[in-house]
Amino acid sequence: MRVDPRHAFYWHAFFLAVTTSFTEVNTVMPALILEAGGTEVAVGVLTAIMLGLPLITQLVFAGFLHTRERKKPYLLLAINLRVLALGAAAVGIALYGTRTMIIPIVFAAMTVFALSGAFAGVSYTELVGNLVRTANRRAFFVRRQVITTLGLLASAIATRFLLGAAAFPDGYVLLFAMAAAFLFVATGGFWALREPPLPEGTVRPTGGVVAAIRQAPAMLRADQNLRSLILVANLVALGFTSIPLVTALAHRSFELDSATVGTFVLIQIGGMLAANVVWNRLVRRGGFRLVLQVELVLIAALFPLALLVAAVAPLWTYALLYLVTGAIISGQKVAIEGALVQISPDGKRALYAGVFGAANLGAAFMPLLTGVLVGVLGFPAVFLGAAAVALVALVPVRTLACGEWFREV
């Protein structure tokens, strides 16, 4: 009996979500760096590694992978490299304890984690495009996000318990070790996946990395949708990659401990769960474009609210802002990934993912810039700038056409 390939993606989504919560880039990782003696600049560097590095390397990986008939073996290889990176981080933190040496160890481990994630992401996008029919994609992306959020919720409860029950850095050692274990379990869905051969008569792509790079300018000139999505993603990047600074502001404004960080994660997951219900309805009404528009409004509201609440309200009120960060993260996942799969033609999906990632320079460099700017200009200037750019991004979103189940206007 043939297994629906969507089930393999759902299995992977759940256990990857557990891993993601244990190494959450907006709460857990900034808290680890700051507690180890790092600064906001170090938080920016780590955010750039985890969010930006995968994007700018995708074109290189796409150039290699799009000529390969089978994507599944490379996907499994990349995921297992991520498992090793997480395990190495756990061992390094355990060996060096509270010393600041754990910061470069985490940077090195997350670099391998991010690069192998980019390698996996190109294969993953190609497999989703090939195995999930166009008519099923809207439901697939929303349902996958619901499953992802359930996995995040389960692991967020565990994260809060571990960080609250164990002294620094033992709680983080356990988090990284468990992240490695659950990510290995996540590969089970892909071991069961049957990747179909190319249809008879299909011309196998030729060329490699250099050829892919040479094709990129022509692809950008020819596809208005791809250009629009890249522009929107770069504008969104300032706000999206500044979300870890919400935790940095809390660290500066309040007395934070590991248990409080765990609470932030739990509230953020609650925001993601609630938002998934909304995204499902919005996708039906206006496609991924409408989800992007709502996400941008939330970003524009988040940062001024964070400044206001940090100045005049208690910590428990500030914690409620993580409901908004959860909604933004969930919306980004649904809208950007869904739009990219939807606008990319069959046979070129890996190249589209690579070109999109390489051109998304905002996500690559903005975390470094915002980390430095916070030190020079302060949180108010950076946060208000991020809010303003989010509002500007509403204009190019209107030119994006990425749905077939509703009428684009």
pLDDT score recorded for residue 132: 78
- Least confident segment among 194-198, 262-266, 285-289: 194-198
Report how far residue 299's alpha carbon sits from residue 331's, in angstroms, rounded to the nearest whole number: 11
Structure tokens at 366: 């903005």
In a domain, 268, yes or no: yes
pLDDT reading at 310 higher than 60: yes
pLDDT score recorded for residue 321: 94
What percent of the chain stands above pLDDT 90? 20
Report how far residue 247's alpha carbon sits from residue 29's, in angstroms, rounded to the nearest whole number: 10
pLDDT reading at 312 higher than 70: yes
pLDDT score recorded for residue 299: 94
DSSP string, 265-292: HHHHHHHHHHHHHHHHHHHHHHHHHHHH
Closest CA to 4 of 133, 153, 146, 106: 133
- Least confident segment among 105-119, 237-251, 340-354, 394-408: 394-408
SS3 36: coil
Domain count, the chain: 1
In a domain, 404, yes or no: no
Peptide bond into 169 cis (omega under 30): yes
pLDDT score recorded for residue 140: 82
pLDDT score recorded for residue 83: 95
Range of the domain at 147: 5-191+209-397
Closest CA to 47 of 243, 186, 324, 189: 243
Report how far residue 64's alpha carbon sits from residue 247's, in angstroms, rounded to the nearest whole number: 38
Question: In the block, which residue shows the tokens 């509230």?
Answer: 267
In a domain, 406, yes or no: no
pLDDT score recorded for residue 405: 40
In a domain, 409, yes or no: no
Give the residue, 321 or 276, on which the prediction is more confident: 321
User: In the 8-state DSSP scheme, what is residue 402?
Assistant: -
For residue 407, what pLDDT band results from cuts at 50, 70 and 90?
very low
In a domain, 374, yes or no: yes
pLDDT digits (tens, 9 = 90+) for 6-33: 888 898 889 988 888 788 787 788 888 8
Give the CATH number of the domain where residue 339 resides.
Answer: 1.20.1250.20
pLDDT digits (tens, 9 = 90+) for 283-297: 888 788 888 899 999
pLDDT score recorded for residue 3: 62
In a domain, 405, yes or no: no
Give the residue, 180 or 159, on which the prediction is more confident: 180
pLDDT reading at 360 higher than 80: no
For residue 204, what pLDDT band results from cuts at 50, 70 and 90?
low
Residue 318: CB partners within 8 Å, gap ≥ 6? 250, 253, 254, 306, 309, 310
In a domain, 244, yes or no: yes
DSSP H helix total and E strand total for the chain = 20, 0
In a domain, 164, yes or no: yes
Report how far residue 305's alpha carbon sits from residue 307's, in angstroms, rounded to the nearest whole number: 5
Average the pLDDT over 98-102 and give the result: 77
